[in-house]
Structure 1
Amino acid sequence: MLARLSDTDRRAFREGARAYAPTLMAIFSWGLVTGIAMSKSVLTLPQALTMSLLCYAGSSQLAVLPLLAAKLPVWTVLLTAAMVNTRFVIFSVGLAPHFSYLPMWRRIVLGYFNGDVIYLLFVKKNFPTGYVPGKEAYFWGMAVASWLSWQVSSIVGILLASLIPDNWGLALAGTLALLPIMVSAVATRSTLAAVSVAAVVALLALDLPYRLALPFAVIAAIVAGSAADLMIERADLRRIRGVNDRAGDSR
């Protein structure tokens, strides 16, 4: 595949894979946990393998397993999965200016392979919007590394669930491994406000059904971040006006 790419795209693809490499162990542990959970649920082996390959969304996969076990209506399962994945709407909005020039089918494929960490690392790269040589290849370098790591670990968890003790604490290990990446993303005051408010809302709404705490936290983060951006922008404008006024008085 790389041989068909230009030199720029090959370099960008490898750079994206290298940028994603530090997160592979965390993703692998999450995939392992998800695979084990699916294998030990009501799903058959073919159903678990199909869910891993088609859904590719660990949080929603884990969220719907208890609902499937309780034999709740399908609409309940779909609603819960949609609520958990609400954040991907935000990710799509963020990626849209970068890939709007692509055909719809390619944007849909990009959406399938997108993920939390992929989006975070892509945004940190600060690419200009629109077409940029190597930008899509950089995304694919991260996406391929993530997808392969997830599928391998998830399938290993599905096939070897009976051999992996429940007390290994893999879910906690994956969470702790991802924390430094998430913390490093808090680079501005508006981001800090969004993260802080989202954390509080998520804790307060933790006991709500259908994992509603997650979409509520996402919405609260958007509102808090937007409000912080607006306040910072207004403060900067007042400061600029103050400097201009003082400069005018000095003349």
Structure 2
Amino acid sequence: MLARLSTDNRTAFMSGVRDYSPMLMAILSWGLVTGIAMSKSVLTVPQALGMSVLVYAGSSQLAVLPLMAAKLPIWTVLLTASMINVRFAIFSAGLAPHFSYLPFRRRLLLGYFNGDVVYLLFQKKAFATGYVPGKEAYFWGMALSAWAAWQVSSIAGILLASVFPDDWGLALAGTLALVPLIVSAVVGRSVLAAVSVAGLVALVAIDLPYRLALPLAVLAAIGAGSVVDVIADRADLRRIRTARPAAGTADPTGRTGRTGRADLGKES
């Protein structure tokens, strides 16, 4: 596949692989935990393998397993998964300006391979919107690394669940590995406000059914970040207006700004 790419695209693809590599241990831990959980649930091995490949969303996979074990109506399972995965609609909206020129099927494929960490790292590169040489290849370098790591670890967890003790704390290890990435992404007041409000809302709403805490935290984060951005923009506008000299103010010679410029032109 790489041999068919241009030199720029090969370089961008490998750059995406390198940028994603620090996150591999976190993804491997989460995939392993999810695979073990699916194997020890009511799912058969073929069903667990199918969920790993087709769903490819660890949080929602873990969330629906207890519901399926309790034999709750299918609509509750789908609603819970939808509430957790609503963030991917926001990620898609963020990627749209970058890949809107691609065919619809190709954009659907990008959506399937997108993920939390992939999206965050992609946005940190601050690409210009529209077509940029190497931009799509960079995305694929990260996306395929993430997908391969997830599937390998998830399938290993499904097939080797009995080998791993329950008290290993792999879920905590995966979470801790993601913390440095989240902290490094907090740049600017609006992002800090969004993260703080999202964490608070998630804690307050943690006991709500259908994992509603997550979409509520997402919506609260968007609102908080937007409010801080608006306040900052208005403050900047006020400073600009204050610093700009008023038209027609007198200069040290006693002449107005406009008259002074006219007189200088005549003198020259």
**2:37 aligned with 1:34:** no
Paired position in structure 2 for 1:178: 178
Paired position in structure 2 for 1:234: 234
Paired position in structure 2 for 1:196: 196
Q: Could you tell me how far 1:140 is from its partner in structure 2? A: 0.1
d(CA) in 2 for partners of 1:42, 1:250: 82
d(CA) in 1 for partners of 2:49, 2:169: 23
d(CA) in 1 for partners of 2:103, 2:225: 31
Letter matched to residue 9 of structure 1:
N
TM-score (norm 2): 0.92
Query: Aligned runs of 1:135-154 on 2, under 5 Å?
Result: 135-154=135-154
Paired position in structure 1 for 2:10: 10
Paired position in structure 2 for 1:244: 244
Letter matched to residue 168 of structure 1:
W
Map Cα deviations across residues 81-127 of structure 1 (whole Å, 9 max, x no partner): 00000111110110000000000100000000000000000000000
d(CA) in 1 for partners of 2:166, 2:143: 29
d(CA) in 1 for partners of 2:172, 2:30: 9
Map Cα deviations across residues 134-178 of structure 1 (whole Å, 9 max, x no partner): 000000000010000000000000001011000000000000000
Paired position in structure 1 for 2:155: 155
Query: Aligned runs of 1:72-151 on 2, under 5 Å?
Result: 72-151=72-151
Q: Could you tell me how far 1:246 is from its partner in structure 2? A: 7.2
Q: Could you tell me how far 1:76 is from its partner in structure 2? A: 0.7
d(CA) in 1 for partners of 2:206, 2:216: 10
Match of 2:131, SS state, is: coil
Match of 1:85, SS state, is: helix
Q: Could you tell me how far 1:247 is from its partner in structure 2? A: 9.3
Which sections of structure 2, spanning at least 5 residues, go unmatched? Answer: 252-268
Which sections of structure 1, spanning at least 5 residues, go unmatched? Answer: none
Q: Could you tell me how far 1:12 is from its partner in structure 2? A: 0.2
Say how many residue pairs are matched.
251
TM-score (norm 1): 0.98
Give the aligned CA root-mean-square deviation in angstroms. Answer: 1.1
d(CA) in 1 for partners of 2:100, 2:249: 48
Paired position in structure 1 for 2:208: 208
Pair 1:181–1:171, CA change in 2 (3 A):
same
d(CA) in 1 for partners of 2:149, 2:141: 12
Paired position in structure 2 for 1:54: 54
Letter matched to residue 162 of structure 1:
S
Q: Could you tell me how far 1:245 is from its partner in structure 2? A: 3.6
d(CA) in 2 for partners of 1:168, 1:35: 14
Letter matched to residue 187 of structure 2:
A
Q: Percent identity?
A: 74
Pair 1:249–1:40, CA change in 2 (3 A):
farther
Paired position in structure 1 for 2:63: 63
Q: Could you tell me how far 1:46 is from its partner in structure 2? A: 0.3
d(CA) in 2 for partners of 1:99, 1:74: 34
Give the number of the structure whose alpha-carbon radius of gyration is greater.
Answer: 2
